[in-house]
Structure 1
Amino acid sequence: MGSYVTTLIPLGIPFGSVGWIYQDASAHARHGTPVYFSAGSIELSKPATWALGCLCLWLVFLPLYLTCRRQAS
């Protein structure tokens, strides 16, 4: 039982934050203030793009999303 908990908690935090980012980015988009980031030809503004980026590179995209979210509000 203990080994399941020690495995699920480290996996639950990133996956939970991906779900939260998708929900939050969707709410911002519905209200007309999308969370936006652009660097060269890379543009992040859709909720699915934020969630996918966070799913692939959580350590990079979570702080980036939080920073861009603050600027969108």
Structure 2
Amino acid sequence: MTGIPPVALLSILVLLVVLAVDVWVYADAKKRLSQGEQVSVSLGALRVESPEAWFLGCLILWVVFFPLYLTATRRNPFGRSSG
């Protein structure tokens, strides 16, 4: 009785969760852009501002871009823009 090893199942599950989060980031960034609230971050010469760029960034380097997206979308408690 051979089946898929538990480690492989766990890896697949993690990949599916990361992909689902990437799709959510894209959808959220697109919704914010349609409402006139562009999510953008500058990292030196690199500027991430389109929903597609956020999706690709999260897809390629999730551990960096997903927390960066969450930080960029956090609202200022004083209602003023921070930049």
Structure 1 partner of 2:38: 34
Q: Higher helix proportion, which one?
A: 1
Query: Which amino acid in the other structure matches residue 25 of structure 2?
Result: I
Runs (5+) with no aligned partner, structure 1? none
Say whether 1:69 aligns with 2:73.
Answer: yes
TM-score normalized with structure 1 length:
0.86
2:61 maps to 57
Q: Which whole-Å CA distance do the structure 2 matches of 1:42 and 1:71 have between them?
A: 22
Match of 1:22 in 2: 26
Q: The residue matched to 1:34 in structure 2 has which SS?
A: coil
Match of 1:46?
50
Q: Tell me the number of residue pairs that the alignment of Structure 1 and Structure 2 aligns.
A: 73
Distance 1:71 1:54 in 2: 21
TM-score (norm 2): 0.77
Which contiguous aligned blocks of 4+ residues in structure 1 show a shift greater than 2 angstroms? 1-8
Name the amino acid aligned to 1:53: G
